[in-house]
């Protein structure tokens, strides 16, 4: 059944306090929230691709990590504004790892070796968080498609 909020509650992927505030805007402009979600899906798909391309580069400089962190920061903000909490958290990890900063005790297992090896360790953390974010992204799209009753 479309627009059944329990679908979102049961998923644990979405912060309902934030998301329901978006739904209120649908009263002024029909399908407003759905449009925001569609835009986010396009944005996230492009940013995930950019992160993958940067991670595929065989050499990882400090500036590469900063750039990866900036991409994580950008997507984190968009996910947070929509209440997509699981994606937001993984993007926050990408942001922190790009700054070579652990989050909630999560970071590289070892920070020994050459600067390139250390950067590669941070990139592996970013890769892991990217995979998690993409998994949550797929799950979130399914739940939102169920909620809206259309493909997202």
Domains with residue ranges and CATH for the chain: 5-23+32-146 (1.20.120.160)
What contacts 88, CB < 8 A, 6 or more positions away? 76, 79, 80
Q: What is the pLDDT along the chain (152 residues), one digit of tens a residue?
A: 578 889 898 899 999 999 999 999 999 998 999 999 999 999 999 999 999 999 999 889 999 999 999 999 999 999 999 999 999 999 999 999 999 999 999 999 888 899 999 999 999 999 999 999 999 999 999 999 999 998 88
Q: How many CB atoms lie within 10 A of CB 104?
A: 9
Question: H-helix or E-strand containing 150?
Answer: none
The contacts of residue 51 (CB under 8 Å, 6+ apart) are: 68, 71, 72, 94, 126, 130
Which pLDDT value is given to residue 75?
98
pLDDT of 111: 86
Residue holding tokens 């209440």?
83
The 8-class DSSP code of residue 103 comes to: B
pLDDT the model gives residue 151: 86
């Amino acid at each position: 059944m479309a627009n059944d909020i329990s679908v979102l509650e049961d998923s644990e992927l979405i912060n309902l306090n934030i998301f329901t505030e978006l739904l209120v805007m649908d009263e002024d402009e029909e399908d407003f929230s759905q449009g925001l979600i569609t835009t986010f899906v396009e944005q996230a798909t492009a940013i995930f691709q950019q992160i993958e391309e940067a991670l595929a580069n065989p050499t990882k400089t400090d500036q590469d990590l900063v750039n990866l962190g900036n991409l994580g920061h950008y997507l984190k903000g968009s996910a947070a504004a929509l209440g997509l909490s699981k994606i937001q958290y993984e993007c926050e990890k990408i942001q922190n790892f790009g700054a070579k900063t652990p989050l909630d005790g999560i970071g590289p297992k070892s920070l020994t070796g050459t600067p390139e090896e250390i950067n590669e360790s941070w990139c592996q953390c970013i890769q892991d968080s990217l995979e998690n974010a993409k998994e949550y992204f797929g799950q979130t799209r399914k739940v939102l498609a169920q909620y809206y009753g259309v493909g997202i």
